[in-house]
Amino acid sequence: MSGLLTFGETMGLVTADGIGALDRVRGFRLGIGGAESNVALGVARLGLPATWIGRVGRDATGDLIERRLRADGVEAVVIRDPSFTGLMVKHRRTGALLHVDYHRAGSAGSRLMPADIPVGAVRAAAIVHVTGITPALSDSARAAVFQAVETARAAGVPVSVDVNFRAKLWSPYDAGPVLRDLVSRADLVFAGPGEAALIVDGPPLQGLAALGPTEVIVKDGARGCTALIDGERHTVPARDVVVVDPVGAGDAFAAGYLADRLSGAAPAARLATAIAAGAFAVTVPGDCESLPTREDLIAATTDVTR
């Protein structure tokens, strides 16, 4: 392989139809979701090679994950585990309040270990992408992340880190030092302003860059993004869209940026693609259902509507 390599936990995603208390909902949809697999799917849909490695259970949800990833062109290295495939349940209590609950403690995905990530695959990748979610899952998953990152660094393979802090997985106190250590080993980092504040004091771009990454991208939702890439500052506004489901927008953004980086695009073009991909993602429900193709992005010359 010569494209993106990523790994982590992908889960079944149960989404309640409609708005209101979960016990009042009468319809549900089943999909898949996971930060790393979302990025792999986004990169693949944009025409670049992407590999995802992860553990799933010997169950129907694990089957669904494997089929969905491969159907969209992701090279899925699926390790079947005796434990169950994790699950997310997503519902809107009100039009403005979205809940995501996890059922993943002891799941197959949390049992990821260093031996699951082949050294040869890491060395052959063009970019290794990891998130701050996987180190929160278990000691073995955290070891897998850091071992892969160190293998990539030794081989001269760029390392991309999306901070992706999840408060339901660990506390800011526990997460801060681990995430700081991870970012200090990266060439490229994505973070929201609040996530950056867990790691550094002061302005996020300069603080994160001081840790070592030469490409720092701060995602700020409806305010767009700012970036410091090879010493040059960039500011890109967000697209004006109707937000239906914000979950997965950051993954779509990262996928757009990384796909253009893999194809050799200039920093400004990478950021423009990232913003457009993130805008697509928020316009329909689901973690990965609306990740765009190149044709989608070409068609959306001024804005993104559905």
251 is catalytic: yes
Catalogue the long-range contacts made by 222-226 (C-beta closer than 8 Å, 24 or more residues apart). 224/275, 225/253, 225/271, 225/274, 225/275
Considering only CA atoms, give the Rg of the chain: 18
Beta 127-131 vs 159-162: how paired, if at all?
parallel
pLDDT on residue 37: 97
Residues of the chain with pLDDT under 50: 302, 304-306
What is the Cα–Cα distance from 164 to 178, expressed in whole angstroms?
A: 12
pLDDT on residue 191: 98
pLDDT digits (tens, 9 = 90+) for 95-121: 667 778 889 999 999 999 999 999 999
Catalytic residue selected from 251, 260, 296, 303: 251
pLDDT on residue 305: 44
Which homologous superfamily is 4-299 in?
Answer: Ribokinase (3.40.1190.20)
pLDDT on residue 301: 53
What is the Cα–Cα distance from 56 to 14, expressed in whole angstroms?
A: 16
What is the Cα–Cα distance from 106 to 110, expressed in whole angstroms?
A: 6
**Structural domain boundaries in the chain:** 4-299
Q: Which helix (H) or strand (E) holds 251?
A: helix 249-262
pTM: 0.92
pLDDT on residue 134: 98
Number of residues written out for the chain: 306
What DSSP state is assigned to residue 291?
A: P
